[in-house]
Copies of this chain bind each other. A is one copy, B any other.
Amino acid sequence: MEKFECLSCGTFYPADVFHYFCPRCGDPLLVASAKRGRTFRLERRSSLEAFQDYLPVTRIDPSLSLGEGWTPLVKMNRLAESLNFSSLFAKNECQNPTHSFKDRGTAVVFQKARSLGIKAVGTVSTGNMASSTAAYGGRAGVATCIFLKEGTPVEKILSTGVHGSHLFLVRGDYGNIFRQSLSLGRKLGIYFANSVDPYRIEGYKVASLEIFLQLDRRLPQFVLVPVSSGGHLIGLMRGFLDLKRDGLADRMPVFVGVQAQGCSPLARAFARGRETWTTFKNAATIAHAISNPSPPGGRLALKYIRENGGLMLGVSDAEILKAQRELAALEGIFCDPASATTLAGLKKLVKIKLARPRDVVVAVITGSGLKSMETLKEHRIPVHKTTVAKLESAVRSVFPES
């Protein structure tokens, strides 16, 4: 019998996809059960199958998968050199099926939904999670119900709706919409797999297991990850905690949760030594994907960070834009502003001499730059306008004869 667990108050509950917040203390519940004698099944090509022992599923239905996972761990030599590092890596989650890390969680959610015979899956999202849920719902033939906040850009609405989702564009407070989704889900039998859904979080663990194997079973010193609701950070940390529990790792990497200063309830709470966050008022940042003023997994994320020697940082929009440009121009990785917080955060670690040249550092790149094209207008990108007749002299002005 699968169980959910509240890490804050130590209470256990029977696993139930319609109840994943602790009724006592309000924190998100996590999957408590762990399998014994876990092994990697590396002869399996699919990531879910390879790491099945670490996931709360009894069998994998491949017809629900879109080929998520096994994203590249890209060694960034040019950026490393500029920062005086020897081993700097990007775990590029943009190469997932809908071009964000969300697919890892969504894939597990749909395995669970299918095994429970659930007829509809929902989510509350402003972008990546919406299109991921819609895509996997289309793939599974399971109806999806997506709540989007009024003001969501039309491109994000349409690229979700193309999968045949039922889209609701809702005016009102985001926290309110989040709470309503859960109560409505219970009434109508819609499994709302929101950002801190426990099965979603288990799915995020897999990226950590991949990093460990891609580094030839070594641990990085630092893992930098953008933080919004807290779910992704918690999942990644649980992956390394599993390795430690199984004796494959003797320590934890230092996890660095990075937020945009314009919406940084967790970095603020961490800096002040608080156990939990307060709502971040007048949130404003270019990193929309991580702009969550009331992160539901925030207290739990702070607890994980505190107990495992991690830290939380805030970075400015200017630092984010600069980092986005550097990742694209020096390493060929065009990511969204949320992902670029990782590089901006690393620079801070270097500045305060916390990260040192020989450390192995992994930056988790969470979503594609194609998902936030509006940001590009912030960059001054030069374009030479010319005609066929004048092309040669235009090119010669940039590339003189060698």
Contacts and interface: CB of A to CB of B under 8 A. Distances in A.
Contacts of A157: 381, 383
A371 interface: yes
Contacts of A15: none
Given A92-B97, A188-B401, A394-B168, A329 B163 contact: yes
A62 to B, nearest CB: 7
Nearest to A399: B188
B145 A395 contact: yes
Interface string A303-343: 00000000000000000000011001111111000000000
B388 A141 contact: no
A233 to B, nearest CB: 23
Contacts of A384: 166-169
A373 interface: yes
Interface string A92-105: 10111111000000
Interface residues of A, number: 97
Contacts of A162: 324-325, 328-329, 334, 369, 376, 379, 381
Given A168-B386, A373-B159, A387-B170, A67 B77 contact: no
A147 interface: yes
Interface in A353-402: 368-371, 373, 376-377, 379, 381-389, 391-392, 394-396, 398-402
Interface stretch (A171-179, A198-206, A218-226, A292-300): A171-179
A114 interface: no
Contacts of A371: 370
A92 B134 CA distance: 18
A399 B120 contact: yes
A332 B399 CA distance: 44
Copies, count? 2
A190 interface: yes
A249 interface: no
B67 A72 contact: yes
Contacts of A137: 332
Contacts of A70: 70
Contacts of A385: 150, 168-169, 171
A116 to B, nearest CB: 14
A67 B74 contact: yes
A205 B325 CA distance: 32
B155 A376 contact: yes
Contacts of A176: 388
B171 A388 contact: yes
A20 B402 CA distance: 21
Interface of A: 45, 62-63, 65-67, 70-75, 77-78, 92, 94-99, 119-120, 131, 134-141, 143, 145, 147, 150, 155, 157-159, 161-164, 166-173, 176-177, 180, 184, 187-190, 214, 324-325, 328-334, 368-371, 373, 376-377, 379, 381-389, 391-392, 394-396, 398-402
